[in-house]
Amino acid sequence: MAHAAMRGIAFLLYLLSLFSFSIAGDSLTPTQPLLDDGGSGNLVSAGGRFELGFFNPAGTQNHYVGIWYHNISDKAVVWVANRQRPINGGSGRLSLASNGTLIVTDDNSTLFWSSSSSSSSNRAYSPVVTLRDDGNLVIRDDPNSDSVSWQSFDFPTDTFLSGMIFGRDDSSGRNVNITSWASTGDPAPGSYVLAMDLDGVPQQFLWQDSEQVARLGPWNGVYLGGVPTINSQDLIDYFFMVSSREFIYWYTVRDPSVLVRVTVTPQGSGQVLMWVEGSQSWISQDSYPRDLCDHYAQCGPNGVCDPNGSAICRCIQGFRPKNPRNWGVWGWTDGCVRKTELDCRNATDGFFTFSNVKLPDTSTSTVDWSTRSLVDCRASCLKNCSCTAFASANISSGSGCIFWTANLTDIKHYNNGFGQDLYVRLARSDLESMSSGHGNKRRVAVIVVAPVLATFLLATAVILLWRRRKTRNNKTTDHHADEEAVEEKNLDMPLFDLSTLAEATGDFCTDNKLGEGGFGPVYKGKLKEGQEIAVKRLSKTSMQGTDEFKNEVMVIAKLQHRNLVRLLGCCVQGGERMLIYEYMLNGSLDTFLFDKDRCRMLDWRMRYNIILGIARGLLYLHHDSRYRIIHRDLKTSNILLDKDMNPKISDFGMAKLFSGDEIIGNTKRVAGTYGYMSPEYAMNGIFSVKSDIFSFGVIVLEIITGEKNNGAYHHNLLGKVWSLWKENRAFEIVEDFIHHSFPLDEVLRCIKIGLLCVQERPEDRPEISLVLLMLGSNSSLLLEPKQPGFAVIGDQIDTDSSSSKGALLSNNRLSITIFEGR
């Protein structure tokens, strides 16, 4: 009995000791561990700002030791100890060993994490670990000493706090950086790292695995040159310490009542977040990348990125696109090459001053501190035949030179006066041509205007001649009229024999029929040389086909782009009118989206690439082709997919060509497809590039949701998405099949872009060039969409025809024609 009583007292003392352990304040000692007991024994910093304890990310059973904000509603975990090895299913314990090492164990004493200890083994310790009010967890060998043997600030996770040192520290030998979480619910190291690179001139990079995503540098003697806000924050002070072997910086917040943290998100965005009194959530003060120009090497070698330019990429003065064909369709990675090679031997080279830029990547550059002025820098560069550019190394003192000896990569132009001067070495002939720019402009004007005027006069003459002949020969057969129209327009379009097409399609056999629309049937064929084709045959009973036939030949013969279907030729023989296209193995987009089985073949990445491809095709039609072309019947059935699922815009029968400054048209013959037409076009016959943008927005939302837009007011897809968007539930509209396999931020960005494109007022809809820019931007940087135009036109449209099939390769949606638009 006595022994039993003693055991009971011992057990009671043990329980009391456990209770006492939970009352730890802001410090732990070897005799006072922190238990995973629901938070009652968590450490709280002396000022009440930060808290340390065990936590479980939402939806998981994993236990981590972390530090978070104690006194605000959105606590935001800023540091995690055992991020690579969580405790799963059991209780944890954070203990301080007698040698000053901090360890995380579970009930079975299994070790999950430990700090390093700088203490030697031949002395006695009284170590203590303390959570400070700046969020730093520190270990001291002696509670009476200020000497720190270990601190969490030397081993950050995804957050950079005020007072924390960032960069390569020569005293510790560490390169302190921050690494994103793997996901919002998983603190394990993710793909994105924000770190300093000291090769050449110090600069900061955002990395994704081993790939450079964005560059926030270089150091210019005052601040990091790629971060315009770092020198203009009224709230934050930045401090730098630079030497040949070290580059570190830190920041402090002037107002102690304001919380500021810098973090890297799992989606790859660097963010500066602020919390002020009365906030309900963290406020974004800055994010990075801000735009496409912040993405590393966006415009390739010797290219310049300007987020406010009409074209986002251009070449440095004296350079030209290396691949001109790709350059016009957002294919910038090849960059630019010199127009004229340098002539170092004869010392004829000079320099072009490029102002207000983020200096090129300095990884392979060199710095010479012995030179004291830009005149010295210029002379040194000219002496080195490998030198391609130079800049001042320190903008505050004007001392030192940075020299580049290779391609100039990742240049961004600023329009707000921010940035530095870059001196680019050019051949004398290029400099002379630039200095005589005014005379060149006159020559360019003559060179450009003369051919345009000649083309206009020739086109006018052709039209008058055609009308005269039409009047004289109004009794000529349709066959002869069509042949004359094709010949007189001099379209340089190959003509196919009727017999050749009959043989290729098995005499237009029903088994080879791919679909049928307002134009007529479409057949699959195979030429003798083995090339597969799609033959679009004008129905003799069609009321709309002749004009559309001529229009499509005239329009598409002028177009060459990888995201537009290629017209191989036509046939106007024996009373037949046919268009011959390249065959698209996978048919049209609608046959995938709206088929419950085939839709499973389209994962999110494939859908996103299709959206991107359609946008690139539209950019060519609206901006980069010889004429501005309004498609007027853009829909999923007119998006064809090749063998690699690359999208190609097809069916230009309704298209309109604009030339010169013409940007808007009006017609009483409204033609298009129910559910895709913009309100101003359906109701008033007004069409422009913004009409196509509306149709594109509908397509984007259909691709994301897998649902058709039926166009009925309050029951259409646009209304459904808009309602969910306003309730912050837009993710619920995503196609069920891809619901668990998509990056949420990217999908929400596409939904937002879709809604921006279908806004009711044409002037509110973005240009297609801006759409492409937004597809690669941060969602938070986009404008908020306004209410969509629902195109309430049901009472004006004859929808009696049932299942109209259509364009080229697949079943189509109902095409409509309204002869009176008002």
Catalytic (active-site) positions: 633
Token pair of 457, please? 């006069």
DSSP string, 408-436: ---EEE-SSS-SEEEEEEE-HHHHHHHHT
DSSP string, 523-559: EEEE-TTS-EEEEEE--TT-SSHHHHHHHHHHHHTT-
Beta bridge partners of 523: 513, 535
- Three-class SS of residue 722? helix
Is residue 369 within 8 Å of 400, Cβ to Cβ? Answer: yes
- Three-class SS of residue 444? helix
Beta-strand relationship, 411-413 and 303-305 = parallel
Q: How far apart are CA 662 and CA 589, in angstroms?
A: 31
Is residue 104 within 8 Å of 81, Cβ to Cβ? Answer: yes
Q: How far apart are CA 83 and CA 186, in angstroms?
A: 8
Q: How far apart are CA 127 and CA 120, in angstroms?
A: 12
Q: Which of 81, 215, 85, 206 is nearest to 155 (CA)?
A: 81
DSSP string, 783-815: PPP-PBP----GGGS-------EETTTEE-PPE
- Distance (Å) of CA 661 to CA 93, 403, 491, 685: 73, 45, 24, 20
Longest dimension (CA), the chain: 130
- Three-class SS of residue 78? strand
* Count of C-beta atoms within a 10 Å radius of residue 322: 18
Which residues of 77-163 form beta strands (DSSP E)? 77-80, 87-88, 92-96, 102-106, 111-114, 128-131, 137-140, 148-151, 159-161
- Burial class for 599, CB neighbours closer than 10 Å (0-12, 13-18, 19+): middle
Which DSSP symbol is given to 767?
Answer: P
Is residue 677 within 8 Å of 687, Cβ to Cβ? Answer: no
Which residues of 612-716 form beta strands (DSSP E)? 628-630, 639-641, 647-649, 656-658, 664-666, 670-673, 686-688
Q: Which of 491, 477, 650, 649 is nearest to 569 (CA)?
A: 491
Token pair of 55, please? 């936590």
Which positions ≥6 away from 104 have C-beta within 8 Å?
A: 65, 81, 82, 87, 92, 93, 94, 111, 112, 113, 114
Which positions ≥6 away from 599 have C-beta within 8 Å?
A: 592, 593, 706, 735, 737
Which DSSP symbol is given to 153?
Answer: G
- Distance (Å) of CA 389 to CA 120, 143, 435: 52, 56, 19
User: Tokens 């459904």 belong to which residue?
Assistant: 720
- Burial class for 596, CB neighbours closer than 10 Å (0-12, 13-18, 19+): exposed
Q: How far apart are CA 451 and CA 464, in angstroms?
A: 20
Token pair of 104, please? 């995380």
